[in-house]
Amino acid sequence: MTDKEKPSKSATKTATPAAKAPVKPKRQPKPLRSGQSIVPRESVASTALIFVIGIMTFLACLTLGAVSMVNTSAAKWQNDISREVTIQIRPFDDLEMTKAIRDASNIALQFSGVSKVTALNDAETARLLEPWLGAGLQLDELPVPRLLRVTLADGAKPDFVKMREQLEAQVPGSTLDDHRTWVDRLTTMALTMVGIGSTVFLLMMAATVTTVIFATRGAMAGNKDVVDVLHFVGADSKFISGQFQKHFLILGLKGAACGALGAIILFVILGIWSSSSLATPEGDQISALFGTFSLSWSGYFWMIIVLIMVAILTAVTSSITVRRQVNNLQNYRK
């Protein structure tokens, strides 16, 4: 290709080789490269896909955040409640209360995990009964049951069934209240919430994967020309699917980053707002019912994990889809 021979002048009046036709002014050298990857970055499907992935990630993060908050609150309540159990000793005529209290404490203290047993004094018991019996109650005038507060070590789970048996056998009139109803209720509630949240989360991930498959197929269809041309110039399927994979990993990362960031910002704002409004009575009510809106660090951490997961999921899903389709194309009989 070294001979830059000039074509002989044509006989017709139209002819002049185009290569030298227009007299052009000297210009700045322009970049040879478009800066584009081989699969066009800005295609229709891309924007839509980033959007979908963004929204899905955002909602997945919201779900995760909500589950995490419920979990934290529930754990706190559960912990508060289950760190104490109560022994009630109902007064019988022939019962010597002081001895009964001593017996009951001794029994309770035998169990491992029980760190302390305190008998509520009269004032405390009176306060408990105030709503029913009014203020200024003289307890010793009344056959009111006495309460023992049994404090448990953190996380300990003594054998309440055995404790109850022993108490009932040895201290007549005593009952053990391990708040099982409350604990059960809270556990159920937390589990339900976590279950619902996880289901929603999984649904979203499934939807994301489906969307990515659809979008990849769409992108492949939209870039069929590109794939064809790449084929004809001798690219192998690894090269081609590599191009698409790169493309989709970037798309996934972009979308997921937008979504997760959005969710994180939302939670930060909610946190600030709720801590500023917690001073009001309404805020109190809300925080009593729902816990605070401030997400724990692990919540944010999990959102980052979701981000990465979504990006990887996008890349992997699209990679599988692309490879399958490219192999179909690669096949001689198409």
Partner 1 sequence: MRKFLDETGIALLISFENVGLRYGIGPEVLSDLSFQVAPNSFQFLTGPSGAGKTSLLRLMLLSLSPTRGLVKVFGKEASTIRPEQMPIIRRKIGVVFQDFRLLDHLTTYENVALPLQVRGKMEQDYRQDVRDLLDWVGLGDRMHVHPPVLSGGEKQRAAIARALIDQPDVLLADEPTGNVDPPLARRILRLFIELHRSGTSVVIATHDLSLMDQYDARRLVLNSGRLQIYD
**Residue 114 contacts residue 150 (beta carbons within 8 Å):** yes
**Looking at 172, 222, 242, 271, which residue binds a copy of itself (CB under 8 A)?**
222
Between residues 32 and 279, which has the closer beta carbon with respect to partner 1? 32
Residue 184: CB minimum distance to a copy of itself, A? 7
Q: What number of other Cβ atoms are within 10 A of residue 108's Cβ?
A: 22
Nearest to 119 by CA among 131, 103, 141: 103
Name the binder of 236 from a copy of itself, partner 1, none, CB < 5-8 A by kind. partner 1
| Residue 271 binds a copy of itself, judged by CB under 8 A | no
Between residues 18 and 288, which has the closer beta carbon with respect to partner 1? 18
Q: The dihedral of CA 71, 73, 76, 79: what is its sign?
A: negative
Alpha-helical runs (H) found in the chain:
44-82, 97-110, 122-133, 160-170, 180-222, 224-232, 237-277, 281-290, 297-330
Nearest to 325 by CA among 272, 262, 248: 248
Judge residue 201's burial from the number of C-beta atoms within 10 Å of its C-beta, 0-12 exposed, 13-18 middle, 19 or more buried: buried
DSSP labels for 70-83?
Answer: HHHHHHHHHHHHHT
Between residues 219 and 256, which has the closer beta carbon with respect to partner 1? 219
Site for a copy of itself in 58-97 (CB under 8 A): 59, 90-91
Site for partner 1 in 256-285 (CB under 8 A): none
Give the whole-angstrom CA distance, residue 183 versus residue 194. Answer: 16
| Residue 168 binds a copy of itself, judged by CB under 8 A | no
Residue 329: CB minimum distance to partner 1, A? 9
Between residues 55 and 313, which has the closer beta carbon with respect to a copy of itself? 55
Do β-strands 84-89 and 174-177 pair in parallel, antiparallel, or remain unpaired? antiparallel
**Looking at 93, 132, 234, 334, which residue binds a copy of itself (CB under 8 A)?**
132
Binding mask 218-257 for partner 1 (x = CB under 8 A): -------xx-xxxxxxxxxx-x------------------
Between residues 10 and 47, which has the closer beta carbon with respect to a copy of itself? 47
- DSSP letter (8 states) at residue 140: G
| Residue 40 binds partner 1, judged by CB under 8 A | yes
Between residues 4 and 289, which has the closer beta carbon with respect to partner 1? 4
Give the whole-angstrom CA distance, residue 181 versus residue 179. Answer: 5
Mutual angle of helices 297-330 and 224-232, in 10-degree steps: 60
What residues line the site for a copy of itself (CB under 8 A)?
43-45, 47-49, 51-52, 55-56, 59, 90-91, 128-129, 132-134, 142-145, 184-185, 188-189, 192, 207, 210-211, 214-215, 218-219, 221-222, 281-282, 285-286, 288-290
